[in-house]
Amino acid sequence: MPQPPVAKKVPKVTVIHGDVLQDDYHWLREKDSPDVIAHLEAENAYAEALTKPTTAFRESLYREMLARIKEDDQSVPYPFGGWLYYSRTETGKQYPIYCRKRAADAPEQITLDLNALAEGHAFLSLGAYAVSDDGRWLAYSVDFTGFRDYTLYVKDLATGALAPDRVEKVSSVTWAADSTTMFYVVEDDAKRPFRLWRHRLSAPVADDAFLYEETDALFRLGVWRSRSRAMVFAGAASFTTTEIRWLPAAEPTATWRMILARQHDHEYAVDHGTGPGAGRFYIRTNAGGRRNFRLVAAPVDDPDPARWQELVPHRDDVMLEDVDVFADHYVVHERADGLIRLHVTTLADGRAHYIEFPEPTYEVSADANAEFAMPAYRLRYQSFVTPASVFDYEVGGRQLVLLKQQPVLGGFDPARYRSERIHAIAADGTRVPISLVYREGTPRDGSSPMLLTGYGAYGLPYPVTFSSSRLSLLDRGVTVGIAHVRGGGELGKRWHDEGRMLKKRSTFTDFIAAADALAAERYTAADRLVIEGGSAGGLLIGAVLNLRPDLAHAALMRVPFVDVINTMLDESLPLTVGEFEEWGNPKIREHYEYMKTYCPYTNLGPGRYPEIMVRTSINDSQVMYWEPAKWVAKLRPLNLGDRPVIFKINMAAGHGGSSGRYDALREAAFDYTWILHVLGRDT
């Protein structure tokens, strides 16, 4: 058997709260060091050597997955400003081509070909894509590294030429109504969006007007336009608190006005709708301890809470996740018992109703709804067994009209698959939802292999989406499950609160309870279970492996956040300060002592660990590559078992891995090949 690389030990000692922390692998942070690059390349060589016997199966699996995809495809066009906008893909090309037409049968105009932009680059990510009100100018931003360093460009859609305007480190951008003024936000050295600027088209960037700086490192700044096109908003938000300003889009040099000044633990979101005078603001707010939010309306000229009119009340068991406001109706996204519901209210008569969906577990979200005055609401629906489907919901007739369902080639039949929602009982009696999908006829006698994933952070629900690639697992008898653990947002703010800060450990014990319940109910068994998580979900898996190394047969960790204490001590890193409200600040003794009970890197000790695959990217700005590199280096000599720990590094990408669709599919095939191999299903 090939032997894994052995990282040298160079102790670095940190003393905090009288406690001594020794980090033997701190040196792996030195990204430009030849020793670091040599070590990472040795890890890739080791990964290649161990996975080489599955190369033929991996290529076969890639071809199988690719064969389900319609390579020449087009999105559903959406109207905006007298144009129909869409994107399309062409066989053999990695990236979408963005286009528009005046009408369905009119000639096509290409607004942005990402394939042309990507020439000579191993990575490309599109950030902003904003067309001016007159339809002539496109403001867009791109990153060529994966580090989320986006540069803003302006393209003249009439000539195809780039304007001289160019700004580095832009995180958000929007147009004023005059089509010559832009507002944009730039990042600081820790990648925190913090300064708002105003730019006049074709004027020197050096002459841009500085408007506002967010000085509190807990807050991130953004700028956007209302769907009504009447307002420009600039909002600063931490994980717990919001503050939003506005000005009329037709008056870009007007004084910014405050909607509501920041108050600790008050989060709110604002949109603009029709009404007397300048209209009214729709405010989704959790003021007064109403953690799951309520919806109120307020006059634009005086949005003080004393003038609020309640539209949708707060409910302890229903989370108001979002609101889409239109000229004649508004749509509230509610989450109850883990599932999204769309609640539609017509403004003319105030009547409200829900859009009905048929499956026990599913995902629904807004699609492109760029125009303010539209009789239909465009949504995207999918589930474990239903491919992503774009519908127009005709509000007046209360009818869903299917516009497109994502094609799945090769004879896909949804009737061959089953999905369900069950619950595990945590140690404290909490019911933890689990979403499952499997091929019809899969045995439920403990003999079936399973892939169980989880996340549980930031109040984000884990979406129950369709994947044509996942069919390669299901068709080989693998059940796929999602444990909707605390720390996520499946059951509202309470669910998030019970899995963050000084309650974070419930995220990990919930996942363990879910895995144990699935074995007890004979969906699978520990010796045929693979557990998986990425980013904060990688933290979940790392903590679970320390608590219960016997829980699963194997573990897959993508860009895992495993070095919690060292990262949260370093305020120069992207995200660290802002996330004090998610994980805590280790410079506070109570927070440090709690983090120390679960930090995966800190808690590694001798034990028999399962087979492990770790994947990361060298240009990741969200979870630095060195976190998994250090974790693997520390784990290997502590592992008393004989199963390998493989570490694979993408040397030209960021947090999400490869950016091209074929490259991303090859990465998925790599992961699935490894999963099927460790489960003995790689035939």
pLDDT at 358: 83
Cα–Cα distance between 43 and 188 in angstroms, integer? Answer: 33
Per the prediction, the chain carries an average pLDDT of 97
Residue 675 confidence class, pLDDT cut points 50, 70, 90: very high
Q: Which 8-state DSSP code applies to residue 672?
A: H
Cα–Cα distance between 269 and 7 in angstroms, integer? Answer: 48
Residue 554 confidence class, pLDDT cut points 50, 70, 90: very high
Of all residues in the chain, what percent carry a pLDDT higher than 90?
98
pTM of the model: 0.97
What's the whole-number mean pLDDT along residues 233-257? 98
pLDDT at 570: 97
Cα–Cα separations (whole angstroms), residue 285 to 178, 288, 339: 31, 9, 21
Residue 317 confidence class, pLDDT cut points 50, 70, 90: very high
What's the whole-number mean pLDDT along residues 75-104? 98
pLDDT at 337: 86
Cα–Cα distance between 660 and 71 in angstroms, integer? Answer: 13
Cα–Cα distance between 572 and 97 in angstroms, integer? Answer: 37
pLDDT at 118: 98
Residue 98 confidence class, pLDDT cut points 50, 70, 90: very high
**pLDDT tens digits, residue range 352-387?**
999 988 888 899 999 999 999 999 999 999 999 999
Cα–Cα distance between 515 and 370 in angstroms, integer? Answer: 42
pLDDT at 359: 86
Residues in Cβ contact with 288 at an 8 Å cutoff, skipping those fewer than 6 apart = none
**pLDDT tens digits, residue range 427-483?**
999 999 999 999 999 999 999 999 999 999 999 999 999 999 999 999 999 999 999
Q: Which of 143, 149, 510, 620 is catalytic?
A: 620
Longest dimension (CA), the chain: 76
**pLDDT tens digits, residue range 560-619?**
999 999 999 999 999 999 999 999 999 999 999 999 999 999 999 999 999 999 999 999
**pLDDT tens digits, residue range 518-544?**
999 999 999 999 999 999 999 999 999
Q: Which domains does the chain have, with CATH numbers?
A: 12-66+411-678 (3.40.50.1820), 74-375 (2.130.10.120)
Q: Which of 655, 658, 659, 682 is catalytic?
A: 655
Q: Which 8-state DSSP code applies to residue 502?
A: G
Q: Under a CB-based contact definition with an 8 Å cutoff, are residues 542 and 631 in contact?
A: yes
What's the whole-number mean pLDDT along residues 387-392? 98
Q: Under a CB-based contact definition with an 8 Å cutoff, are residues 643 and 610 in contact?
A: yes
- Whether 265 is catalytic: no
Q: How many CA atoms lie within 13 A of 321 on its CB side?
A: 22
Cα–Cα separations (whole angstroms), residue 100 to 110, 182, 356: 7, 22, 32
Residue 556 confidence class, pLDDT cut points 50, 70, 90: very high
- Whether 179 is catalytic: no
Out of 165-174, 312-321, 327-336, 353-362, pick the least confident: 353-362
- Whether 121 is catalytic: no
pLDDT at 509: 98
Edge-to-edge strands, sheet with 611-617: 417-425, 431-439, 479-483, 450-454, 529-534, 554-558, 611-617, 645-650
* Phi–psi pair at 416, nearest 5 degrees: -80, -5
Residue 202 confidence class, pLDDT cut points 50, 70, 90: confident
Q: Which of 535, 621, 658, 659 is catalytic?
A: 535
Helix or strand (DSSP H, E) at 545 = helix 536-547
**pLDDT tens digits, residue range 30-73?**
999 999 999 999 999 999 999 999 999 999 999 999 999 999 99
pLDDT at 226: 98
Cα–Cα distance between 363 and 200 in angstroms, integer? Answer: 41
Per the listing, tokens 């899969």 go with: 442
Q: Is the pLDDT of residue 234 over 90?
A: yes
Of all residues in the chain, what percent carry a pLDDT higher than 70?
100
- Please choose, from the candidates 668, 296, 336, the residue with its C-alpha nearest in 3D space to the C-alpha of residue 494: 336
pLDDT at 3: 95
Angle, CA of 150, 155 and 161, to the nearest 5°: 125
Residue 277 confidence class, pLDDT cut points 50, 70, 90: confident
